[in-house]
Structure 1
Amino acid sequence: MSATNPFNHAPTPLPQGFFDLDVGQLAPRLLGKVIRHFYRGLWLSARIIETEAYRREEKGSHASLGLTHSRRALFMPAGTLYMYYARGGDSLNISAAGEGDGVLIKSGYPVVDEISRAESLALMRELNPAADGRPRETRRLCNGQTLLCRSLHLKVPEWNAQQMQPGRLIVEDDGYRPELVIQTTRLGIPLGRDEHLPYRFVDHAYAPFCTRNPLGRTREEGRDYILHHADAAPWKHC
Structure 2
Amino acid sequence: MLPIDVDTSLYSIVPLAREDLPVDTVELARFMVGKCLVHDSPEGRVSGRIVETEAYPIGDSTSYAYRGLRPYNAALFRAPGHAYMRLVYGASYTINMSSEPEGEGAAVLFRAAEPLDGVPLMTRRRPAVKYADLARGPGRLCAAFAIGPEWDGVDLCGGSSLWIGRLNGDDAPFARVAAAKRIGLSREMHELLRFYEPGSPFVSGPKRLLEPLVR
TM-score w.r.t. the length of structure 2 is: 0.84
CA contact (8 A) 2:52 2:197 kept: yes
CA contact (8 A) 2:154 2:160 kept: no
The answer to whether residue 54 in structure 2 is matched with residue 58 in structure 1 is no
The worse-fitting range, judged by mean Cα deviation, of 23-32 and 61-70 is 61-70
Partner of 2:177: 181
Q: Percent identity?
A: 27
Partner of 1:85: 87
Aligned pair partner of 1:149 in 142, 145, 149:
142
Distance across 2 between alignment mates of 1:10 and 1:48: 15
Matching residue's letter, 2:184: G
Q: Which 4+ residue blocks in structure 1 deviate beyond 6 angstroms? A: none
Distance 1:47 1:123, change over 3 A: same
The worse-fitting range, judged by mean Cα deviation, of 63-72 and 174-183 is 174-183
Matching residue's letter, 1:196: H
Distance across 2 between alignment mates of 1:29 and 1:205: 18
The answer to whether residue 197 in structure 2 is matched with residue 203 in structure 1 is yes
The answer to whether residue 105 in structure 2 is matched with residue 100 in structure 1 is yes
The alignment of Structure 1 onto Structure 2 pairs a total of residues equal to 199
CA contact (8 A) 1:34 1:48 kept: yes
Partner of 1:12: 14
Aligned residues: CA RMSD = 2.1
Distance across 1 between alignment mates of 2:96 and 2:38: 15
CA contact (8 A) 1:53 1:104 kept: yes
Matching residue's letter, 1:180: R
Aligned pair partner of 1:160 in 135, 152, 155:
152
Distance across 2 between alignment mates of 1:213 and 1:28: 20
TM-score w.r.t. the length of structure 1 is: 0.77
Partner of 1:75: 77
Tell me by how many angstroms 1:197 deviates: 1.7
Tell me by how many angstroms 1:188 deviates: 1.0
Partner of 1:5: none
Distance across 2 between alignment mates of 1:109 and 1:93: 17
Distance across 2 between alignment mates of 1:51 and 1:103: 7
Distance 1:60 1:167, change over 3 A: closer
Tell me by how many angstroms 1:97 deviates: 2.0
| Gap regions ≥5 residues in structure 2 | 1-9
